[in-house]
Amino acid sequence: MPVSDERDDVLLLDVPTAGDYLSVLPTATAAVATRLGFSLDEIEDLRAAVNAAVTLLIPPESGRPRPFRRRGGAEDPLSCRLEVGAEDLRIVLSRLGGEDLPDSNTYQWQVLRALTDEVASEREGSASTITIRQQRPSTEADADTQAHRI
């Protein structure tokens, strides 16, 4: 029986907003997508989508491009929630204390829409959230959870 029929799997990550830590998010996404039987092209698309979402959530720092920021400081971390459902993989990225998200006509938004089945954003209080949904492939790759531990 696939693990998703028993329960939803959830992976929670909070990472500092420095560039070298942010690389954990697309890597974790790729690991989960591999376990679920996504193709190599689909995995790379998800990695690129997560990178685009991170870029949207991290405001630019004077003199440095997004999302590469200096270490240090007491900034709020970037939170990532990877939810493995029976039919889809949801990636929820959020950040407290961030600025408003850029206009939906920017290049990064176009990348997100092109690489994913569905993308949504919301701003609630001081929190900005981007949710990515990708339909799971119709394989049994996740049937044996012991063989696919992350």
In a domain, 87, yes or no: yes
- How many H helices and E strands in the chain? 5, 5
**Structural domain boundaries enclosing 60:** 3-135
CA distance 144 to 140: 8
Tally Cβ neighbours within 10 Å of residue 145. Answer: 14
pLDDT band for position 148 (cuts 50, 70, 90): very low
CB 53 within 8 A of CB 102: no
Angle (CA) 32-36-42 rounded to 5° is 80
Strand-by-strand arrangement of the 118-124 sheet: 9-15, 78-84, 88-96, 127-135, 118-124
Confidence at residue 147, expressed as pLDDT on a 0 to 100 scale: 44
112, part of any domain: yes
Domain-located, residue 149: no
Tally the domains of the chain: 1
Query: If DSSP codes are grouped into helix, strand and coil, which group holds residue 64?
Result: strand
Predicted confidence (pLDDT) at residue 35 exceeds the cutoff of 70: yes
Q: Tell me, yes or no, whether 79 lies in a domain.
A: yes
CB proximity list for 8: less than 8 A, separation 6 or greater? 83, 84, 85, 86
Does some domain include residue 148? Answer: no
Each residue's pLDDT tens digit, 55-83? 899 866 665 555 554 455 557 789 999 99
How far is CA 133 from its chain centroid?
A: 10
Q: Tens digits of per-residue pLDDT, 93-146?
A: 999 876 788 888 888 899 899 999 999 999 988 899 999 999 998 855 444 444
* 40: CATH: 3.30.565.10
Question: pTM here?
Answer: 0.79
- The pLDDT score that the predictor gives to residue 60 is 66
pLDDT for 6 beyond 80: no
pLDDT category of residue 3 using cuts at 50, 70 and 90: very low
